[in-house]
């Protein structure tokens, strides 16, 4: 029996040891380190750090800190400003762009940054399909890229292009990347490769799904950042990230929901930032989806091909209510596709052309167009088919759930039956991109240069015969395409802006989709530890996920703030000590109780 | 082993041999069944995820401007447009040679990704399960022995309440209630401490909240099963005999009642151990614990088909293997099963 007794005691000890190990780290796990560290919660995945393959928003955001661009949108108003290139000019035929490379810039390993690096970057994207994965669209119009000398980069293009100063392509060091044969090799995401950069911060550690650490670039050409490290810490759960901000575990959180944002307002030591956003939300109204060869695809309701029906729907919807009730006021009222944050290009419909909420007028217009109410109160077209539409929206999104209720109600009021079809994100993407929808809630992010977002609405962007397009409204209109082409080739800033607004006006009037609002971006940070966050554009924009590195580049620690301290708070030690003691006492008692009867066995 | 009372050594020998072949047959039969299930899982894993709506290429390019040519190129590289039978053939042949394919989104070998995520999950769910079994059984035994006592009522009530609480809610609640005593995310600190011991403690510190959350929710099942199976034994006559021998109550319970009541609980433990690997999506998501549950969740968003298939096969495979082990172990634990 001696053996069994021993074994039992040991088992009891083992069971006890586990929670002890769990609850009582006896030495501080993370030592406070020298220097200031800005910790940013990252709620999105990172696919790659290799800038040739990094496509997710969080990945490209990190890349922006590590590699300087040829030119980039400025912090003040998001208009192009110099990066690797200090100046640029175009030939009279607008087909040759010459960039002068900044003198004295170096890579973090000491090598000089030259025009050859820039030429290598573009040529690699143009010649290697794997290298084109993330940035291929920017070089589509490129004919030839050369570096006649170390400070001159010449880009010859096929047709004039206004967005040449908005190339969102990180310039990488040739001496590192020319040795890489396979761009898709996972090794290209390692610090050995991505660690050499020219931006304000340099990637110094990458633990997938945990953290990306960037160290300040002491030799950055604009001047070294005033913090030592920038860490992006992965959070899977946004509420946990908010709790971490409260506890001081992280210093910055973005992509907050209304509720999270409201709860952080007025909190001690925390500053909130309600910024104008870069995204628009829209109600897609299937205008008769076709592929690029003109064949009808999908199963959209035929009545929606009638622009009068789409306009009537636009007048039956009240965006003010959606902004107030669904977005809790954190949004801006709609106009064109380009959000008001890019004020040069934003289109605000004039009073006479604006769709104002007026169900009675919408009803009259439908009557006049021949869509009359039947005995059941539901309108039917001249062909006798009832106006019964499906409304596809994301079930994962609060907006989708609530806005679809409002829209179904409003359209019901004018005699249009709406069936809500709330499905997964993937299913929304699939049904909308293949034309299998009547109405759908969608949205898209925009960039400082409007070319891409406008280009998505051209006939050329219709899906190929096989395969689907990515989130466009199946718009194909000659007048729009003409305006688009003209703005793309117009190098005069003001004239181009005018064309951009006209293109949006045409889109607005044809209404293949109706912009519903522009969401605010909601962010919060520890103002008791850091200050100097830069908003883009000045005073109204967001700090994180900018088209640039300004947001965190200007950050500096607050005098007396505990930036970088990662040790356990004193309270934690008290709690852990108490827990450990409790377990010891409890465990000891249990052991003792087991021992006693063992003395007097049969 | 059984011994013959009627015959001499030859009969006993025969018996032994017969028992030997029957054991072999039993093991072979069970293993064959498990293998068939694995094949089924493999086929199912392929078909199931192709039913998920969504276009991985669209997901991959959602945040970047992409031209139609680029999309076409990407499709070709990933092979998403290939005929289904081709894709299946590639998948099946790869699987047979131990290759789980390459993730669409991350462009890394699926086997490597699963390997990275396996041990955090085993650590989290394994620790929680061990603790839950220990705690649940201990409480169950005591609750049954003092049936209807205050101890029984309180603990059964508490366990049932916790059992019905959603894991993510409890996790968030703990996170907010502990006010930063424990880290809110992940398995390791952003700045790794120096030295093995410090790193181990760091992991343990991070493990506390997710582990407590999981433990609180799952211990009830062990407690209730243990309690009810012990209650069944308590009326038995052999307990009266044991008491009649003059044994103390504690000993009667520990030496006689509990061993007989243990079997249903052991079954449950093994069934649950199969699930250990699959992790727990909700707890892992709340605490950003880099385990397999989270990997599955991320893969579903793509959908990253090779990753999903790989995870599915590994998870289903581990459940099948654990069930097989449970069935084999049963024969060792319970003579009645052996005799049948």
- Which residues does residue A202 pair with via DSSP β-bridges, in sequence order? A215
Report yes or no: A235 at the B interface, CB cutoff 8 Å.
yes
Strand partners, A215: A202, A229
Residue B185 CB: number of other CB atoms within 10 A? 28
Between CA A467 and CA A475, with CA A469 as vertex, the angle to 5 degrees is 130
Chain A residues within an 8 Å CB radius of B80: none
What is the pLDDT at residue A599? Answer: 41
| Residue tagged 């409003």 (tokens) | A410
Is pLDDT of B308 > 70?
A: yes
**Under 8 Å between Cβ of B134 and A15:** yes
pLDDT at A334: 93
Distance CA A401, CA A390 (A): 14
**Range with the lowest mean pLDDT among A183-197, A242-256, B96-110, B133-147?**
B96-110
pLDDT on residue B107: 85
Q: Per-residue DSSP letters for B270-283?
A: HHHHHHHTT--HHH
Q: Is B197 on the interface with A (CB under 8 A)?
A: yes
Alpha carbon separation from B242 to A235, B143, B150 (Å, rounded): 57, 21, 26
- B14-32 burial: b if 16+ Cβ within 10 Å, else e: eeeeeeeeeeeeeeeebee
Quickly state the pLDDT bin for B173 (edges 50, 70, 90).
very high
pLDDT attached to residue B297: 84
B53, B75, B192 ranked by CB distance to A430: nearest: B53
Dist. CA B124–CA B187, nearest whole Å: 10
Chain B contact for A602 (CB, 8 A cutoff): yes
Question: Which of helix, strand or coil describes residue A65?
Answer: helix
A26 CB neighbour count, 10 Å cutoff: 15
Nearest chain B residue to A50 by CA: give it. B106
Mutate which of B64, B251, B308 to test chain A, going by most A C-beta atoms within 10 A? B64
Q: How confident is the model at residue B95 (pLDDT cuts 50, 70, 90)?
A: confident
Asked whether the beta carbons of A314 and A500 are under 8 A apart, the reply is: no
Q: What is the pTM of this model?
A: 0.84
Q: Is B146 helix (H, G, I), strand (E, B) or coil?
A: coil
- Tell whether A320 lies on the interface with B, counting CB pairs under 8 A: no
Mean pLDDT score, B247-263: 84
| B106 with A18: Cβ contact below 8 A | no
Nearest to B131 among A19, A249, A426 (CB): A19
A557-578 pLDDT, tens digit per residue, is: 998 765 444 445 444 555 566 6
ipTM over 0.90: no
DSSP 8-class letter at A159: S
Left (φ > 0), alpha (ψ -120 to 50) or beta: where does B79 sit? left
Token pair for A366:
């439908």
User: What's the length of chain A?
Assistant: 602
Q: Give the angle A498-A501-A506 at the CA atoms, nearest 5°.
A: 125
Residues B120-132 pLDDT 10s: 988 998 899 899 9
Tell me, yes or no, if A129 comes closer than 8 A to chain B by beta carbon. Answer: yes
* pLDDT value of residue B235: 81
A85 strand-pairing partners: A101
Residue-level pLDDT at B203: 92
pLDDT for B14 = 56
Which of A50, A426, A562 is the best residue to mutate to test the B interface, defined by the most B CB atoms within 10 Å of its own CB? Answer: A426
Residues of A with Cβ-Cβ distance to B129 under 8 angstroms: none
Q: Quote the pLDDT of residue A572.
A: 54
Low-confidence ranges of chain A (pLDDT < 70): 1-34, 465-471, 561-602
Q: Are residues A37 and B62, on separate chains, in Cβ contact within 8 Å?
A: no
Region class of B9: left (phi > 0), else alpha (psi between -120 and 50), else beta: alpha
Of A129, A137, A207, the CB nearest to B65: A137
Which of B75, B184, B256 best probes binding to A when mutated, by most A CB atoms within 10 angstroms? B184
CB-based contact A240 B179, cutoff 8 Å: no
Contact A29, A18 (CB under 8 A): no
Give the pLDDT score at B262: 83
Is B11 an interface residue toward A (CB < 8 Å)?
no
Please list every residue in chain B whose beta carbon sits closer than 8 Å to the beta carbon of residue A425.
54, 301
SS3 of residue B132 by DSSP? helix
Q: Which of B55, B109, B186 sits opposite A433 (nearest CB)?
A: B55
Which B residues in the span 14-73 are in contact with A, Cβ-Cβ below 8 Å? Answer: 52-55, 58-73
Residue-level pLDDT at A468: 56
Residue A100, sorted as left (phi over 0), alpha (psi -120 to 50) or beta, turns out to be beta
Whether the per-residue pLDDT at B7 is higher than 50: the answer is no
Lowest mean pLDDT among A108-117, B51-60, B172-181, B299-308: B51-60
To the nearest whole number, what is the mean pLDDT of chain B?
A: 83
Two tokens at A400? 């989708």
Alpha helices by DSSP H, listed for A415-511, are: 425-433, 451-455, 478-489, 493-510
Can you give the length of chain B in residues?
340
CATH number of the domain at B112-339, please?
1.10.3720.10
Please give the share of chain B, as a percent, with pLDDT higher than 90: 21
CB pairs under 8 A between A and B: 224
Provide the pLDDT confidence category of residue B57 given band limits of 50, 70 and 90: confident
* Closest chain A residue by Cα to residue B302: A426
Q: Does A12 touch chain B (CB under 8 A)?
A: no
The three-state (H, E, C) secondary structure of A173-225, written as one string: CHHHHCCCCCCCCHHHHCHHHHCCCCCCEEEEEEECCCEEEEEECCCCCCCCC
Task: Identify the burial level of A401 via C-beta atoms within 10 angstroms of its C-beta, where 0-12 means exposed, 13-18 middle and 19 or more buried.
Answer: middle
The pLDDT score that the predictor gives to residue B16 is: 58
Determine the Cα–Cα distance for residues A369 and A264; give it in Å rounded to an integer: 51
Of A33-42, A559-568, B73-82, B227-236, the range with the lowest mean pLDDT is A559-568
pLDDT tens string A234-286 = 998 899 999 999 999 999 999 999 999 999 998 999 999 999 999 999 999 99
Sign of CA dihedral B249, B254, B260, B265: positive
């Amino acid at each position: 029996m001696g053996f069994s007794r021993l074994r039992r005691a040991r088992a009891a000890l083992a069971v006890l040891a586990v929670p002890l190990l769990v609850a009582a780290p006896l030495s501080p796990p993370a030592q406070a380190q020298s220097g200031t560290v800005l910790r940013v919660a990252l709620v999105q995945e990172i696919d790659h750090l290799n800038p040739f393959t990094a496509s997710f928003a969080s990945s490209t955001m990190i890349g922006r800190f590590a590699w300087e661009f040829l030119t980039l949108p400025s912090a003040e108003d998001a208009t192009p400003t110099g990066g690797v290139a200090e100046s640029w000019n175009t030939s009279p035929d607008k087909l040759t762009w010459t960039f002068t490379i900044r003198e004295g810039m170096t890579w973090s390993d000491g090598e000089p940054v030259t025009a050859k690096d820039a030429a290598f970057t573009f040529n690699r994207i143009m010649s290697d399909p794997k290298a084109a994965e993330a940035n291929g669209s920017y070089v589509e119009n490129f004919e030839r890229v050369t570096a006649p000398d170390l400070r001159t980069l010449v880009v010859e293009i096929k047709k004039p292009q206004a967005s040449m100063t908005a190339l969102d392509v990180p310039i990488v060091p040739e001496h590192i990347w020319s040795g890489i044969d396979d761009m898709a090799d996972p090794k290209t995401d390692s610090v050995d490769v991505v660690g050499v950069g020219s931006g304000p911060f340099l990637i110094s550690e990458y633990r997938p799904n945990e953290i990306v650490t960037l160290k300040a670039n002491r030799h950055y050409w604009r001047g070294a950042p005033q913090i030592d490290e920038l860490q992006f810490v992965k959070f899977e759960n946004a509420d946990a990230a908010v709790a971490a901000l409260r506890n001081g575990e992280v210093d910055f959180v973005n992509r907050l929901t209304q509720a999270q944002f409201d709860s952080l307002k007025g909190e001690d030591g925390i500053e909130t930032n309600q910024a104008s956003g870069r995204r628009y939300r829209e109600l897609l109204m299937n205008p008769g989806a076709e592929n690029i060869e003109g064949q009808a695809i999908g199963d959209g309701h035929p009545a929606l091909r009638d622009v009068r029906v789409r306009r009537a729907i636009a007048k039956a919807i009240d965006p003010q209510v959606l902004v107030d009730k669904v977005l809790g006021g954190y949004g801006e009222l709609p106009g064109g596709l380009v959000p008001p944050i890019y004020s040069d290009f934003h289109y605000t419909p004039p009073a006479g052309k604006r769709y104002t909420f007026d169900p009675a007028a919408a009803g009259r217009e439908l009557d006049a167009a021949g869509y009359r109410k039947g005995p059941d109160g539901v309108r039917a077209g001249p062909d006798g088919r009832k106006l019964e539409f499906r409304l596809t929206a994301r079930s994962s999104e609060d907006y989708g759930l609530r806005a679809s209720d409002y829209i179904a109600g409003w359209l019901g009021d004018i005699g249009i039956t709406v069936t809500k079809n709330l499905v997964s994100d993937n299913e929304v993407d699939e049904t909308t991109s293949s034309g299998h929808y009547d109405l759908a809630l969608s949205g898209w992010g925009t960039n400082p240069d409007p070319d891409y977002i406008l280009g998505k609405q051209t006939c050329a962007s219709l899906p190929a015969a096989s395969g689907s397009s990515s989130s466009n409204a199946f718009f194909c209109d000659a007048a729009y395409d003409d305006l688009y082409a003209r703005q793309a080739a117009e190098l005069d800033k003001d004239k181009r802006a005018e064309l951009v607004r006209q293109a949006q006006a045409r889109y607005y009037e044809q209404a293949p989709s109706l912009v519903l609002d522009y969401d605010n971006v909601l962010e919060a940070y520890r103002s008791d530890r850091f200050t100097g966050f830069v908003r883009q554009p000045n005073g109204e924009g967001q700090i994180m996920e900018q088209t640039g590195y300004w947001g965190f580049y200007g950050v500096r620690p607050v005098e007396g703030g505990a930036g970088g301290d990662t040790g356990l708070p004193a309270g934690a030690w008290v709690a852990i000590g108490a827990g450990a003691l409790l377990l010891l006492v409890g465990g000891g008692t249990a052991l003792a109780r087991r021992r006693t009867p063992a003395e007097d066995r049969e | 082993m059984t011994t013959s009372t009627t015959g001499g050594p030859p009969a006993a020998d025969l018996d032994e041999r017969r028992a030997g072949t029957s054991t072999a047959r039993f093991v072979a039969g069970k293993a064959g069944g498990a293998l068939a299930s694995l094949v089924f899982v493999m086929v199912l894993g392929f078909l199931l995820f192709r039913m998920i709506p969504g276009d991985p290429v669209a997901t991959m390019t959602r945040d970047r401007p992409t031209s139609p040519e680029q999309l076409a190129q990407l499709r070709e590289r990933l092979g998403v447009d290939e005929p289904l039978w081709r894709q299946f053939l590639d998948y099946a042949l790869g699987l047979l040679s131990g290759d789980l394919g390459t993730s669409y989104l991350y462009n890394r070998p699926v086997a490597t990704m699963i390997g990275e995520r396996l041990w955090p999950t085993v650590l989290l769910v394994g620790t929680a399960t061990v603790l839950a079994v220990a705690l649940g059984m201990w409480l169950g035994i005591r609750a049954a022995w003092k049936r209807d006592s205050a101890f029984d009522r309180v603990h059964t009530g508490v366990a049932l309440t916790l059992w019905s609480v959603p894991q993510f809610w409890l996790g968030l609640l703990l996170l907010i209630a502990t006010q930063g005593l424990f880290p809110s995310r992940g398995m390791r600190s952003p700045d790794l401490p120096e030295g093995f011991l410090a790193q181990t403690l760091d992991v343990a510190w991070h493990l506390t909240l997710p582990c407590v959350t999981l433990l609180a929710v799952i211990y009830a099942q062990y407690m209730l099963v243990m309690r009810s199976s012990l209650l069944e034994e308590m009326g038995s006559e052999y307990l009266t005999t044991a008491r009649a021998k003059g044994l103390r109550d504690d000993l009667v319970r520990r030496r006689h009642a509990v061993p007989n009541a243990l079997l249903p609980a052991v079954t449950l433990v093994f069934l649950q151990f199969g699930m250990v690997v699959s992790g727990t999506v909700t707890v892992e998501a709340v605490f950003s614990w880099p385990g397999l549950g989270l990997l599955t969740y991320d893969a579903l968003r793509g959908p990253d088909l090779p990753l999903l298939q790989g995870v599915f096969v590994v998870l289903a495979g581990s459940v099948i293997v654990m069930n097989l082990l449970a069935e084999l172990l049963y024969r060792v634990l319970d003579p009645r099963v052996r005799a049948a």
